[in-house]
Structure 1
Amino acid sequence: MLKFSAFMRDMSKIRGALVWSFLLFAVGIGAGWVSTGPLEQLLLNQIEGLRQVSQQLEQGGNVQWNFFLLIFFNNAIKSVLVIYAGIFFGILPIVFLLINGMVLGFVVHTTMNHGASFFDIVVKGLLPHGIIEIPVIIIACAFGLKFGGLTISSLAQLGGEKRALIGTRWKEFAKMTVTASFWVVILLFVAAIIESTLTYALVRG
């Protein structure tokens, strides 16, 4: 059940949710790129919180190990949570995608406005780990969206002829979420290693 081939097969079953997940993330990036007023202030507050945590980690011993632990556990816990919290009509995965997309779009745009090159930001700062981390987060949210869709469709069918199939669908999807959670954590573990070593060295080099 936990084979990577099963994970890939399960993703093929949620293609629609994957498309929506990608689109919501893209919308978030666009909104962050052009953000002004209250939205800009919200994003600045988010980034300030991350900056303060980063400074605290820099002051401790074994900085890269501290960054690894923070990055891995923060991403892994949130990604698994967003899968299962999708049961509440997919609301949390939608919010999660939009906020993360907005932060990414805002940071890239703001950093470029302050003189940094697109190459340094994307190729050095994002690509090494982001090529794994970003797709994995989008995939986790897609499973959350599918969870929300299953909740809505199940409620709609409670009084219908197809209600006998609801239990089977839930059992099948529960197995899919276990496999997805396992591989999401594994892949985010790899991304955290890359971000706390290669990305860390490139950004500070």
Structure 2
Amino acid sequence: MRFQELFKHFGEMKHYFIAVVLVFAFSFYLGWAYSDSFSVFLNNQLSGIKKISESLTGKEHAQVWFFIVIFLNNALKAIIFIFLGLLFGILPLFMIVANGMILGFVLSLQTHEDTLTIIIKGILPHGIIEIPTILLACAYGLKLGVLVSKSALQALMPTSARTARTELMRVLTLTKPLSLLIVILLFVAAIIESTLTYWLVHL
């Protein structure tokens, strides 16, 4: 595993990290400030999550089921969206926007007194790990998308050195340790969400 090389590469990814944070923050603002405009789309997204949550709550050993579903859902989506970035980075960008808007929309539904409580109890304990990890995956998905686009353009230029293709191959070699790191981080986040967050929300 090339973890040392991966961590070193993080320094080269700072512009992508900044970009995904800004897109996420802007999407959060849209979901919060314009909840009425996007209510149909966002309610459809939340309805599926609500149904799953309700079905798991009624099961024996509900917390174990919550852990399994949360972990598999987040880990599979994060890794899939890294590689879906090869389709010119469109789908990782959609994932950032959708998640930011959903989070903003959920918080916009709370009263002012409840908002801080929801953040502290329902989001912060696991979100401090989960959200940056999802954004990390999307940042690499966008990176792959940009490199694919550059490679395609350079392939049309006979005199081009095709440096983007070389960089694309290098980043692809880093997706193995990246995927493992993401799985580990989301595993920890799922444990926290299915135990501490679950306990705090049900107090």
What TM-score do the two structures reach when normalised by structure 2? 0.93
Alpha-carbon distance, 1:8 to partner: 2.1
Alpha-carbon distance, 1:170 to partner: 2.5
Partner SS for 1:61: coil
Aligned to 2:166: 168
Whether 2:169 is the aligned partner of 1:183: answer: no
User: Does the aligned pair in 2 maintain the 1:76–1:184 contact within 8 Å?
Assistant: yes
Counterpart CA distance in 2 for 1:101 and 1:44 is 14
Counterpart CA distance in 2 for 1:162 and 1:16 is 25
Aligned to 1:138: 135
Whether 2:199 is the aligned partner of 1:201: answer: yes
Alpha-carbon distance, 1:166 to partner: 4.4
Aligned to 1:149: 146
- Runs of 4+ deviating beyond 6 Å: none
Alpha-carbon distance, 1:7 to partner: 3.1
User: Residues 58, 20 of structure 1: CA spacing in aligned structure 2 closer, same or farther, 3 A cutoff?
Assistant: same
Counterpart CA distance in 1 for 2:165 and 2:143 is 16
Partner SS for 1:87: coil
Aligned positions of 1:66-145 closer than 5 A: 66-112=65-111, 116-118=114-116, 120-145=117-142
Alpha-carbon distance, 1:41 to partner: 1.2
RMSD: 1.5
Paired residue type of 1:153 = K
- For structure 1, which segment, 142-151 or 158-167, has the greater mean C-alpha deviation from structure 2 after superposition? 158-167
Counterpart CA distance in 1 for 2:202 and 2:71 is 20
Counterpart CA distance in 1 for 2:121 and 2:30 is 23
What TM-score do the two structures reach when normalised by structure 1? 0.93
- For structure 1, which segment, 34-43 or 9-18, has the greater mean C-alpha deviation from structure 2 after superposition? 34-43
List runs of 5+ in structure 1 lacking aligned partners: none
Aligned to 1:53: 52
Alpha-carbon distance, 1:156 to partner: 1.3
- For structure 1, which segment, 37-46 or 159-168, has the greater mean C-alpha deviation from structure 2 after superposition? 159-168
List runs of 5+ in structure 2 lacking aligned partners: none
Deviations 1:21-50 (A, max 9, x none): 111111110110022445111111111211
Paired residue type of 2:46 = I
User: Does the aligned pair in 2 maintain the 1:2–1:182 contact within 8 Å?
Assistant: no
Paired residue type of 2:52 = V
Partner SS for 2:114: coil
Deviations 1:134-179 (A, max 9, x none): 0000010000000000011111111243345344322211112222
Percent of aligned positions that are identical:
39
